[in-house]
Structures are given as C-alpha cells and as structure tokens.
Amino acid sequence: MKNLFENLDRVLEHRARLQIMSVLVTNDSYDFNSLKELLGSTDGHLASHMKALEKEKYVSITKSFVDRKPNTKYKATAKGINSFKKHLDALEALVKQQK
Amino acid sequence: MKEIPEYEKDLASIRTIMERSVKFISLSGISGVLAGIYAILGAVAAYFIVHYPISLLNQRVYSINDFETLSQLTLIAIVVLIASLVTGFWFSSRKAKKYNEKLWNATSKKLFINLSIPLITGGLFILILLYTGHFGVAAPASLVFYGLALIQGSANMFDEIRYLGISEIILGLVSALVPGYGLIFWVIGFGILHIVYGTIMHNKYDR
C-alpha cells in the first residue's frame, strides 16, 4: 500500500494542476484565457498553479501579442507528459486496490 | 496525503475536463435536422427548375448550360447554405449559453479552421468544375469534399460526425459513378443523412 502512494507526483496532487496538465496533454497547446474559462478559475489562482508547473518544467511558455493584447500559450513538455502519465497510473492503481 | 475517494474525484474531474477541452459540445442536433430539411426544400425547388416535368428517376442526359437556369440554381444553393449556417449558429449559441460556455472558444476556433480548409478547397474546386463545363461531377465532388471536411473536424466534435463524414464520401463516390442522378444523391447526402444524424445527436446529447 505504501509503495503505491509513493508513486504519486507531489506537484500534481493539486486537482487544478492535474486538470491543467490533462488539457495540455490532450491538446497541442492552450492559451491562458481559454484555460481559465475551461476550468472556471480566476487569474491569480491559475497563474500561481501555472508558475508551479513551469518551475517543475512540466510546461513550456510562449508569449506573444494578439491584437496588441498579450497572449500566453502553454505546452506540455516531455517531462510533464511523462509525469502526468505516471501520476495517472498511480491514481488508477490506488483506486483499483481499494475495490 | 489525501483519502482514496479524493483520488477518485481527481480522476473523474480530469475525464470531463479533457473531453470538454477537445470537443465542441455546443453543436446542436436540431440544427442538423433543420439543415437537412432546408436541403430537401432546396432540392425540390431545383427539381422544378431543371427536371420538371420529367420524372426524377429518368436519367438527365443533357446538362444545364443556359445562364438563367444556372443562376437560379446557384441562388437556391446560397439560400440553403446561409439558412443552414444561421440556424446552426443560433441553436449552438443557445446551447453554449445553457452550458455556460462561450461559443467562440479555443475548441471552436480549431474546429472552424479544420473545417474551412477542405470546405474552401472543395468550393473552389467545384467552381472550377462548373467553369470548365464538368457539370456532372460537381454534385459528387461537393459530397466528397463535405465528407472529408467532417472527418477532418470530427476530432473536435461528437464521434457520430466521423460516420456521417464517411457516409458522405461513399455517397459522393457512388454518385460519381452514375452521372445524371446528382440531385437524388444530394437529397440523400445533405437532406436525409443530416436529418438522421441530427436526430441521433439530439437524442444522445441534447436531452
């Protein structure tokens, strides 16, 4: 039992971060505002989680301007995708063991 | 450390988020049914212009080349297209409001681009066919290109759209083999198939 918990990714234990990674894994890239809309999150809330994911190098960022407004796009990195998959496997294993 | 039920919630929450981030869920089934009905009405009008009083099942061997008939048919096609687009837009924005989503979001933008490329290519190709006098293959070409567009866009729509796309392509190819029956294949492809798939999607997703 203990082993299974160790496989969980401590960064992705936050549900919001797990949701963000799930969007970035299924889509090539996603911009900040669309992500905010999809998750029903606030600017500050999302920004703090993005910063945490960025620090772990789970996401890469491209900043540009669209119609003179700043547009921040996120992509999942190979490291991020790997960690996400491992975390999912660990979650599934935990839930399965419970049943 | 969280409790097991919390982890189950984690899994459930990302499942819906993933689906919503990829699929354009606001697409309405009813608008598909109405588009099918407009197409049938348009085809009936076209029939009275071109075939009347010949039976629909008799193969038409001559092609339309007088300017007046062609422009009348073009007008019908444009009216059907605009009516379908307006209906689709109206019903989808209503459904988006119901789900508390924006109609113009990252997914619908992606879908719009994916659909536009094969549709515009097909539209230009058909105009070239008409311009060079290849009237017989214009209707099959429209079915084939529409089917390709649907398959291209199906990644961002409900799964049924993929089968609709495949059906349109098969219909277009068969139609190209038997020239002269373009109108009947049009009625099946743009009318009946839209009504059938629109009904399926309405029953499955709009309830």
Å between A15 CA and nearest CA of chain B:
6
B180: left (phi over 0), alpha (psi -120 to 50) or beta: left
Q: Supply the pLDDT for residue B50.
A: 78
Sign of the torsion angle spanned by Cα atoms B140, B146, B149, B151: negative
Q: Do B106 and A26 touch (CB under 8 A)?
A: no
Q: Supply the pLDDT for residue B90.
A: 94
Q: Supply the pLDDT for residue B146.
A: 96
CA separation for the pair B51, B40 (Å, rounded) = 15
Per CB-CB distance under 8 Å, the chain A contacts of B106 are: 27, 30-31, 34, 38
Binned average pLDDT, 10 residues per bin, chain A of 99 residues: 75 92 92 91 94 95 89 94 92 82
Q: Do A94 and B7 touch (CB under 8 A)?
A: yes
Q: Supply the pLDDT for residue B19.
A: 83
CA separation for the pair B45, B12 (Å, rounded) = 51
CA separation for the pair B55, B50 (Å, rounded) = 11
pTM of the predicted structure, to 2 decimals: 0.80
Q: Supply the pLDDT for residue B73.
A: 84
Q: Supply the pLDDT for residue B173.
A: 96
What residues of chain B score a pLDDT lower than 50? none
Q: Supply the pLDDT for residue B59.
A: 56
Q: Supply the pLDDT for residue B12.
A: 87
B99 near A CB under 8 A: no
CA separation for the pair B62, B50 (Å, rounded) = 11
Q: Supply the pLDDT for residue A61.
A: 94
B13 near A CB under 8 A: yes
